[in-house]
Structure 1
Amino acid sequence: MSALNSTQQVFDDEEPTIGKWVCQLLVAEGVIGVLGNLLVCLVILRVRLLHNMTNYLLVNLAVADMLLCLQCIFNGLIFHQDCKIIDYVPKTFVGKVAFCRFLQSDFLSYAFSFASAYNLCVVTLERYVALVHPLQYARKLTATRMKILITLIWMMSFLFSLPYLFLFKPSNDPDLACSEIEYQDNTFHVLLGVFAFFSVYLLPLTLMSWAYYKIQVTLKRQAKALNLQHARAAAYDLVIARQRLVSMLMIVLGALIILWTPSITSSLLCLHLTDKGPLSFCGSQGFKYFKGIANFMFYFNSVINPIIYELKYKKFRQGLKVAFCCCHKSQGANTVDIAMVPL
């Protein structure tokens, strides 16, 4: 997860041609991610058909992913030796502090990663209450409470990322902006890796997995009951539509697990690619290649969500047509709303 700063360490010294290829690939990935998530925001906010709580929360998730992709582009073009377009070194000490602590460190990368993971948790929470405790939905998930929850998520994301401000410090060299802070032992790095593993990865994924299990059990029970009662087709279709939305969100969760696991695990074992750490293989060439691939997969998670919406979210496909094709603006009024009211 250590962004392009770690990727630069992977390839710069020994194989600059591979380093340049990887850097350009990550920057291109960031551009695609920004455009894709921006499209999600525009479609949902523009099309009235998609104006509901679930989709507003998906917009918030798309914003977090878009910021993470922007950070990927920024790091590549400013800090990566093979891709950077300017060689900027702040002249003042205060400028160097801000540059090193907030920009060159992994602070923003982790902050936006926290925000992405926990905003997906909020989407899961909304669907859990709507489907497992529908009678309590209107009372518990008011618009005001959801706004407060989203604000707290963003505040916590930046708060939890504060330790990463202490990885770099301003350099005394006038031609160099930052230098890595050297600690007497690796305790700080180990604790930081363990903290990130549990807070940004294990905890939210455990909560979401449990919630989706409960949702699936509830939906299967509802579908079975309606089928036995020979309920009206509209009622049964409503349950099926809910199942499709939940399946789409589970695919989003599954993609996050698959694409984040290599990077989070490598950060847990080796925060920095050096043989001076607690594990000697952190400085090996094989691990450096693995870290580069893991970083690519990590950022790809922020790129793939809009693709999942397009492939698996029927309502989003309809909204996409409405947003960019006038001939479809009158369609969709008679279809079952996938996002649905909880009742």
Structure 2
Amino acid sequence: MKNTDLNQTGEMAAVLFCFPHLQNSCPRTLRLSVIRVAMYAFMLTTILMTVCGNLLVIIAISHFKQLHSPTNFILISLALVDCCLGCFVMPFSMLRTVEGCWYLGKHFCRVHSSLDIMFSTVSILHLCLVSIDRYRAICHPLQYKTNVSTLNVIIYIVVIWLTASTFSFGLVFSEVTTENFKTLVLLDSCIGSCVFICGKQCGITVFLVAFFIPGTVMSCLYIKIFHVARKHARVISDRMATVACHELKNRVSEQRERKAAKTLAIVMCVFLLCWVPFLCASLVDPFLNFVTPVDVFEALFWFGYFNSTCNPVIYAFFYLHFRKAFKIIIAKIFGLKITSTTLFSS
């Protein structure tokens, strides 16, 4: 009997709890110190790159009047989404992932989960708006110049923010408890967990609203855009011999529009690549009685967060004017000499 008691006591001592003074506390995830330090280093680097990179995009578009265009105002709002994700969501997710516990209480857990869903939904709706903008600019250029204004774009952006915030906060704080449409943020089994659980119908709704419908719209529009762009390219190649000066400028403008569409399509593909694994897991998991381990979900979360880090890198790599703007801003921050402040060559 004594040996059995000692073994049980030893096993209990080996388990760390999130809140040792509370009876119903969750067990804390045990990790080696080296692994914890490596996780913190990786996640902190990702957060800093996300915040600093997207701040560069916001400052560049705000500061340079040459970048003031309807499309870039959508991009500045998208950068604001990614920056807010890096400031208000990712640091707390980092603590939860590494420590294996949620120390910030039930109410802030709901706010955190709501912001997480909101920023993800706002991101894909922004990308959907960008695809619509590029479709109108390339497929209907004359109508685009007369009908699309900065004010219209700002109204669309405000509607997206309001719609996504209403959807996400309503989903989390409504506490719907229908058997199929169940939404929970805290696991009832123990204290110290912050896990958003979505039932079958809830998972399908989130998948459709936050991914499938806007993703399908984007895919169809970009297929149409590239079909029209190839058509324009063939027409331009046929007229190369007799191109006039003003036609040459139009051709350069069209090439710029097509390159913008191509780059933004890459942004969309990176977004889908980063978020599809998590969204698919969230959709399938309720039908499998929630068998996916929490650590797997945390890894998928961070894979999705990494999308916010990638966007500024894509802009800098594919957009010459963004690259120039970033160099000018960084040079001013560090007091370096600037040879030129022109973004576009005349």
- Aligned to 1:310, which of 312, 316, 323? 316
Read off the aligned partner of 2:171 and give its amino acid letter: P
Contact 1:37 1:66 in 2 (8 A): yes
Greater mean deviation of Cα atoms: 75-84 or 197-206? 75-84
Change (3 A) 1:64 1:295: same
Partner of 1:46: 63
Contact 1:20 1:82 in 2 (8 A): no
Change (3 A) 1:239 1:81: closer
CA distance in 2, matches of 1:12, 1:121: 42
* Larger RCO (alpha carbons 8 Å, 6+ apart): 1
CA distance in 2, matches of 1:283, 1:61: 34
- Aligned to 1:63, which of 80, 98, 101? 80
Change (3 A) 1:32 1:226: same
1:267 aligns with 2:291: no
Change (3 A) 1:169 1:236: closer
* Structure 1 residue 77, shift from structure 2 partner: 6.0
Contact 1:100 1:168 in 2 (8 A): yes
* Structure 1 residue 261, shift from structure 2 partner: 0.9
Read off the aligned partner of 1:115 and give its amino acid letter: V
Q: How does 1:4-15 map to 2 (within 5 A)?
A: 13=28, 15=30
Change (3 A) 1:100 1:239: closer
Alignment partner of 1:16: what SS? coil
1:320 aligns with 2:326: yes
* Structure 1 residue 74, shift from structure 2 partner: 3.6
Partner of 2:9: none
CA distance in 2, matches of 1:15, 1:65: 31
Partner of 1:200: 210
Alignment coverage as a number of residue pairs: 298
* Structure 1 residue 65, shift from structure 2 partner: 1.2
Partner of 1:147: 154
Alignment partner of 1:238: what SS? helix
Change (3 A) 1:13 1:88: closer
Partner of 2:18: none
CA distance in 2, matches of 1:48, 1:145: 19
- Aligned to 1:245, which of 244, 260, 264? 260
Q: How does 1:229-240 map to 2 (within 5 A)?
A: 229-230=239-240, 231-232=243-244, 233-240=248-255
TM-score, length-normalised on structure 2?
0.75
Q: Please, which runs of 5 or more residues in structure 2 have no aligned partner?
A: 1-25, 176-183, 332-336
Quick check: which has more Rg, 1 or 2?
A: 2
Partner of 1:5: none
Alignment partner of 2:199: what SS? helix
Read off the aligned partner of 1:327 and give its amino acid letter: I
CA distance in 2, matches of 1:254, 1:51: 25
Change (3 A) 1:200 1:20: farther
Read off the aligned partner of 1:33 and give its amino acid letter: T
Deviation digits for residues 241-283 of structure 1 (CA, Å, limit 9, x no counterpart): 222211111110110111111111111122xxxxxx5415x43
Read off the aligned partner of 1:99 and give its amino acid letter: F
CA distance in 1, matches of 2:73, 2:340: 20
Contact 2:73 2:153 in 1 (8 A): no
1:102 aligns with 2:108: no
Partner of 2:288: 279
Change (3 A) 1:50 1:328: farther
Alignment partner of 1:283: what SS? coil
Partner of 2:15: none
1:134 aligns with 2:149: no
Deviation digits for residues 301-335 of structure 1 (CA, Å, limit 9, x no counterpart): 01000000111111211222343445343434534
Partner of 2:302: 296
CA RMSD of aligned residues (A): 3.1
Alignment partner of 2:342: what SS? coil
CA distance in 1, matches of 2:146, 2:193: 51
CA distance in 2, matches of 1:40, 1:189: 38
Change (3 A) 1:83 1:178: closer
Q: Percent identity?
A: 24
Partner of 2:21: none
Change (3 A) 1:131 1:191: same
